[in-house]
Amino acid sequence: MTSTNVNPVAQAVSSFKNLDIDDRLVVFGSLFGKISETVSTTDIDKLSTQKAADLVAQIQQLSPEEQVYALRDLLPASRNDQNETMLDPHPSKAMVELAQGGSKIPTGEYGAMNAEGKLAFWYFLGQRLGSTIIDIPRDYTPSPQATELINTVKSLNTNDLVSFLKQVLQTKVKA
């Protein structure tokens, strides 16, 4: 009989990379919604939080639809496109954005953050889900893979959860 030593964090990271962008947002929304209720602000204050707080404040100023597009643009973790313009995937909206000078969200600022800064960003965002930041729509049904990943990640101990989050925030995931 052979036994396999499966690293649950590595397996969760691999599963996360294979999700589409909306399911990744649901996973993050679910996790950070819970994390923001349990982690003390003094723990978060130890992180580099000013840029994260400023970026969340910028997102709060957007319409709910623009917030969704902004989060879709920000989630690919290794993005460091400080001089690139992120456009709405819908062609007519992209044309409007081009006419207005591009997206209102500085994706390069997010991309330049280290993993701790990104953790702070998603923590602050999780605190505001459903109030000043659009929440996961009640009628959205995540894929079975996303649901399984949410359950797996919620069962991780705190150190493994932080390790999972840091890994997915600093590795490039397919868009």
- Bigger pLDDT: 159 vs 27: 27
CATH architecture, domain 16-166: Orthogonal Bundle (1.10)
Q: What is the pLDDT of residues 66-115, one digit of tens each?
A: 888 888 888 764 444 434 444 555 555 555 544 544 556 667 788 888 88
Residue 133, φ and ψ in degrees, nearest 5: -120, 135
Instruction: With CA atoms as reference, report the closest residue to 75 among 38, 147, 42, 26.
Output: 26
Nearest alpha carbon to residue 77 among 35, 118, 37, 40: 118
- Distances from the Cα of 33 to the Cα of 5, 36, 90, 149, angstroms: 31, 6, 28, 15
Are 121 and 55 in contact by the 8 Å Cβ rule? The answer is yes
pLDDT in tens, 27-77: 988 888 777 666 666 666 666 678 888 898 999 998 888 888 888 888 764
Read off the pLDDT of each residue in 120-142 and give the average, rounded to a whole number: 85
Band (pLDDT 50/70/90 cuts) for residue 174 is very low
